[in-house]
Every structure is written in C-alpha cells, then in structure tokens.
Amino acid sequence: MHSSSYEELRSKLLSREITCEEVARHYLGRIEAHSDDNIFITVFQDEVLDRARTLDRKLADGAQPGKLYGLPMAIKDNIAMKGARLTCASKILSGYESVYDATAVSRLEAEDALFLGKTNMDEFAMGSSNENSAFGTVPNPFDKKRVPGGSSGGSAAAVANGLCLVALGSDTGGSVRQPAGFCDIVGLKPTYGRISRFGLVAFASSFDQIGVLARNTGDAALVLGVMAGRDTHDATCSRRDVPDYAKQMEDVRVEGLKIGVPKAFFPENLNSDVSGIVMGKLQELREKGAELVDVTLPESDYAIAAYYILVTAEASSNLARFDGARYGFRASDSTDLSSMYVNSRTEGFGREVKRRIMLGTYVLSAGYYDTYYKKAQQVRRVFQDRYREALEKVDVIAGPTSPFPPFGIGDKTGDPLEMYLADVFTVPASIVGMPAVSVPVGLDSLGLPVGMHLVCNFFEEGKLLGIAGKIQRQA
C-alpha cells in the first residue's frame, strides 16, 4: 500500500489495483498508530471514508479523474476548511469552525484530493519547534526527544511518518522549509503572491505564503500547480499564468548550472556536520559540471532583526480581531466589555503570541516607528536589491536550511532569541519574497536530517524544484 510518490499511487488507483477507500483506511490506520504524537489536531475520520467512496464511484462511473485523484493530504490548522474546526493551535479559537474554504483547499478538492485532517503547529504559526502549541508537542520522526521544527511541525511529521503523502503548511519566515529540513522531506515556499492567501489565517500578511511539504519534488510541483494562480478573493495574489512546472523541471541540467554560494551562509560557528554535508553536496554538483559562484549577500543576522520587527508589527494588527467577541473563546469571569477583551486575550493567547503582540505594538508606537519599523522596511529593501543583483549572475542561491540539526524538546523554549536564530537562513527569502525550497541532503553523525536551502528568482518555482530534484538524497 505504501507509495513513495503520488505518481506511483495514482497508477495503482487508476488501474484499480487499489481503491480510494483502501487508501483512506490505510492512512487513517497510520494516523491512529501515531495518535500519541499530537501530529493531528483534527482527523476527518468519517468524512474521509465517505469522500473516498465517492471518488471510487466516480471512477467506476467512467468520469475523468482529477489531477490529484485520491491523493491523501493533511492541511495545517491555520488554513480554513468549511465546516471543520480551525484552531491555529490556540486556545483563543476553541470552538470555532470555519464557514468557508481557503482558495487553495477548494482548488485541491476540485482535483479530487483526499483530505485526512488538520495538523498541529506553533500557535498562529509563531515558532520554530512546534512547542508553542495548545495541543502538545510533536516528536521528531528521527528522534522522539527532539523537535520536528516549526511552525508547520505537524505537517512535516505527518509526511515523514507516512501519515499522508503531501501536506500543506504556511511559511512566513521558514515554517515550511525548516521543519521539512528537520524531518528529511521537501518543503517549498512559493513566490509571495503565487498562491492565494484567502482562507489562510493571517500572521504577517506581507510575508505569509501557503507552502507544500512532500516526499519528493514532483509531488510538490503537482500540488503547487493546482493551487497557484490568480484569485479575486486576494488582492496580493499574482495574476501571472501558471506554467507547466513538470516541464520546467525536466529542462533543468546540472551541467553549466550556476550556483551562488554566499559566505554569509557558512559562518565560522556553523554546526560542522551541517556545513560538511551541505558543502559536500555542492562539491558533488561541481564535479557534475555545475559552477559554484561566490556571491556577496548581506549578513543574515540583519534579516532576522528586520524580520522580527516587521512580522510582530503586522501580527499585532492582524491578531486584534481575536477579542473574545467574534471568534471562539471568551473568558467567563468578565464584568464589563473592556475586561472581557483583556481577560479573553490574556487567557486565550499563549506566551509567544503575547510577546509578539507587545513587541509589534511597541515598534509601531509613536516615537519608535521611525527607529524600528521604518528602518526594518529599509533593510527589507536592501535585501531585495541584493538578492535581485545576485540572481542576475547565478541560477540559484544555496546554503543550509538550518544552522543546526533538530534540537531537543525544551532546549530553546527558555530563550526566545536562541529560538529565533533557527530561521537565520530561511528568513531572507521571506523578506525578499522569492521562492525557496528545503531539500534533504544527508544525515549527521547522530542520524539526524540535514537540509539544503535553495532560492531562485521570483516565479521560478519550476526551475527551483528541478534543481532540488537533482540534489535530493536517495533515502
């Protein structure tokens, strides 16, 4: 039953070697076997079987199967699915059910995908370890004492443990790529605006993108192709035509490929296994005819500083809507309107979310706006200019996804600044809005996954995934 790619599963489904119902039962069984791992917040137990039977009938009736016919998928729990609980792994949304589907979800559904459930995450997608969840921690599939990464930790663990074939995540500063790196799978953040954000709960709207976590680049490309494209519900969604990603991937050649390798991505203090594995892979590509080009990019530390000013500013505004009146949770012991707001937010939000709302409010306040917020916007522009310049000279920029392998549960929870450094290599692509992917390249001396991070120019997802496909380690 287990398939390592959708292509393989699809051929079994279309030849009727297996049915969608069997696929559904298999994956529900796997989810059940991992129920102690907190990977799913909601499992669509009965709905999946109903839907699978409908899909089976569809094929039996001779109807044309959709592009994702029977593809078992999991959806991060900050993406709206009509009639399903939508928690963002927060107490403040308890009891809330979405009244509409995200555009991405309705497009997948229209192509016959099979949705298994909603996955765990850091509360409101704020975090790098999945530890900021009101629904428990998720163990890393390679070592249960370690984190799976975050914030899309549930989605990454679901794919890596074989509880679904493909999962959706969201990526604001690395939340798809970093957990993909920690769980030995492929994680793609598309160009800002490539996929509609309609139905994705906003964290930092000028950064947020829905992304794909998959076992291989072909599956990621297929799912991206279905979700991408203009949407009248999201004014920031690009109107650009969606190309044939599979074709673009085929056109990629290692021979003559120019790979930009910035020194800034290989600092002195980088974990030696991480730098050794990533550098080793790059040398291998050079031996196969690629050219490694020294490109200069601004220090990633500046990206982290700018990022945490800009995203907290945007979050402080976006999260104002959770006030105890409109959605989910309301504190019971309030005496008037103002205490209802205060108590609901105090009890409903977790520590990290509150920290960010306060930071964001601070950097936007009169007197500090110019010093922090405006300055960070200027830094953002510098990064955009420098990345554009670099990508005029090279096809792709490469480095590690994370400065260290998966860390222990609890190791960084006491020190938010340490935790923020987990995103040092993923945040720059989010600041500039370019597409980026994490691809598995090896295991360190403890057998923990190491990912390589690749960035291409705007809307070059096909080329990016094509390059990643040439690099992915064979498990």
- Sole window of 79-87, 121-129, 243-251, 295-303 interacting with ligand GLN (rule: CB under 6 A): 121-129
Q: Which of 90, 129, 133, 151 is catalytic?
A: 151
By beta carbon distance, the residue nearest ligand GLN is 175
Provide the Cα torsion 424, 426, 430, 433; round to 10°: 130
**How many positions of this chain bind ligand GLN (CB under 6 A)?**
14
CB of 334 to ligand GLN, least distance (A): 30
CB of 24 to ligand GLN, least distance (A): 30
Amino acid code (one letter) for 346 = T
Binding ligand GLN (rule: CB under 6 A), the pick from 423, 448, 461, 469 is 423
Region 327-386 residues binding ligand GLN, contact defined as CB under 6 A: none
The alpha carbon of 241 is separated from its chain's Cα centroid by a whole number of angstroms, namely 23
Q: Three-state DSSP class for 465?
A: helix
Q: Which of 3, 175, 196, 238 is catalytic?
A: 175
CB of 179 to ligand GLN, least distance (A): 10
Termini Cα distance of the chain: 19
Please answer whether residues 393 and 258 qualify as being in contact, where contact means their C-beta atoms are separated by less than 8 angstroms: yes
- Residue reference for tokens 């310049």: 389
Region 125-144 residues binding ligand GLN, contact defined as CB under 6 A: 125-128
151 makes contact with ligand GLN (CB under 6 A): yes
Distance from C-alpha of 94 to C-alpha of 73, rounded to nearest angstrom: 24
Residue 388, token pair as written in the block: 């554009």
Q: Which is nearer to ligand GLN, 112 or 423 (CB)?
A: 423
Region 166-185 residues binding ligand GLN, contact defined as CB under 6 A: 170-175
Nearest to residue 68, comparing CAs of 25, 7, 19, 27? 7
CB of 44 to ligand GLN, least distance (A): 24
Whether 151 is catalytic is yes
Nearest to residue 138, comparing CAs of 41, 30, 215? 41
Residue 425, token pair as written in the block: 């290599």
Backbone dihedral region for residue 198 (phi beyond 0: left; psi -120 to 50: alpha; all else: beta) = beta
Region 268-327 residues binding ligand GLN, contact defined as CB under 6 A: 311
Whether 175 is catalytic is yes
Residues, the chain: 475
Binding-residue pattern over the window 179 to 218 for ligand GLN, x denoting contact by CB under 6 A? ------------------------x---------------
CB of 81 to ligand GLN, least distance (A): 19
Whether 393 is catalytic is no
DSSP β-bridge partners for residue 115 = 73
Q: Which of 76, 189, 281, 463 is catalytic?
A: 76
Rg (CA), the chain: 21
Distance from C-alpha of 165 to C-alpha of 258, rounded to nearest angstrom: 32
CB of 212 to ligand GLN, least distance (A): 14
Give 392's DSSP letter.
H
Q: Which residues are catalytic?
A: 76, 151, 175
Instruction: List contacts with ligand GLN (CB under 6 A).
Output: 125-128, 151, 170-175, 203, 311, 423
